[in-house]
Amino acid sequence: MYLQTLLLRRLLQSVSPTWLPCRWLGGGEMSPSKLVRHWQSIFHDHGVPEPQESSEILIAHALGSKTFPSLPPSVAHTSVSVAQLRHIESMAQQRLKRVPIQYVIGEWDFLDITLQMRPPVFIPRPETEELVGLVLGASRRLQCSAEPLVLEVGCGSGAVSLSLLQRLPQARITAIDKTKAAVKLTEDNAVSLGLQNQIQVLLLDILADPPDPLLMWGPVDVLVSNPPYISTSDISQLDPEIVKYEDHAALDGGPDGMDVIRGILSFAPRLLKPGGDIFLEVDPSHPERIKLWIQDHTDTHLQYISTVQDFCGRSRFVHLRRD
């Protein structure tokens, strides 16, 4: 015990004597709860958002659990090892640089699946879980088709497509993204979840490339997308975690945030079956703009079905349908 205590003291002093002073160690008993309180204080003092949550997630991950409350008693009440301390310190240093927690631990849960996370691929947000629910609940074609075909534009980590496949094992999905990193991550997540035979992932930019490869399986029943929808002028105002580490191409929707949305609406009629649905996650200012765009482009044969609010009461999703 004396040797372990001595090693802990030396490690913590050499790593960061200001943050982990010897007097704090309480005789060398480095319990997980003490570490949570300590790093919570450090994160708070350095302006890291959600300091308690960040501290709990990092320490739980280092100790082999998804959440701090789920630590087994045998772990929660045992002193942390030197190797675990080093791992926690390494992750905490990244978080202090405002690296997103999802990138630090290399994974994140989305609905009931666990996805690998790698920078700079866009990190799925809680609102997008609602987008999956909207697709499942509001698409008539998904409900009546024996083998529905789905197209996702801007797949990122594959969160939407793979969550849909978990619930619709009979479906086939084409997922596209314009970055190689996103395509590779979606493919890797599909393999991890055993869904690789139900999805094809393509490198394609809808604003620059012809959509012909998307018709490999024929017209689709549903087109779903969480496209870049932030106005270019607003990008610099986002949190440091986003500005410094996430791919701006997955965020920047042009001057009004509508560039990719207009691209989707323009080619959707060629890709959708009659009666096929479009579901988009958008900025709250976009539903009215989309309505006006459809009125000015009657040749697309698109109907505006509804605007759906997110859990914060913002107009976040739009549902359209092809005639």
What would the DSSP string read from start to end of 27-54? TT---HHHHHHHHHHHHHHTT-SSHHHH
- Quick check: bond before 274 cis, omega within 30? no
> Are 229 and 261 within 8 A, CB to CB?
yes
User: Where in the chain do CATH 3.40.50.150 domains reside?
Assistant: 111-322
Read off the tokens for 191.
């393999």
pLDDT tens, position by position, 106-149: 999 999 999 999 999 999 999 999 999 999 999 988 888 899 99
> Using 50, 70 and 90 to split pLDDT, how confident is the model at 28?
low
> Are 155 and 161 within 8 A, CB to CB?
yes
DSSP character for 91? H
Kindly report the pTM of this predicted structure: 0.90
What values do phi and psi take at 27, rounded to 5?
80, 15
CATH topology of domain 111-322: Rossmann fold (3.40.50)
Alpha-carbon distance of 86 to 8, in angstroms, equals: 10
> Are 8 and 15 within 8 A, CB to CB?
no
Q: Which residue has the higher pLDDT, 163 or 16?
A: 163
Adjacent-strand bridge partners of 315: 309
Residue identified by tokens 């913002």 is 314
Element (H, E) at 236: none
Mean pLDDT along residues 69-91: 95
Question: What pLDDT does 216 receive?
Answer: 81
Alpha-carbon distance of 188 to 199, in angstroms, equals: 12
Mean pLDDT of the chain: 91
pLDDT tens, position by position, 204-235: 999 999 988 888 888 999 999 999 999 999 99
Q: Which amino acid is at 75?
A: V
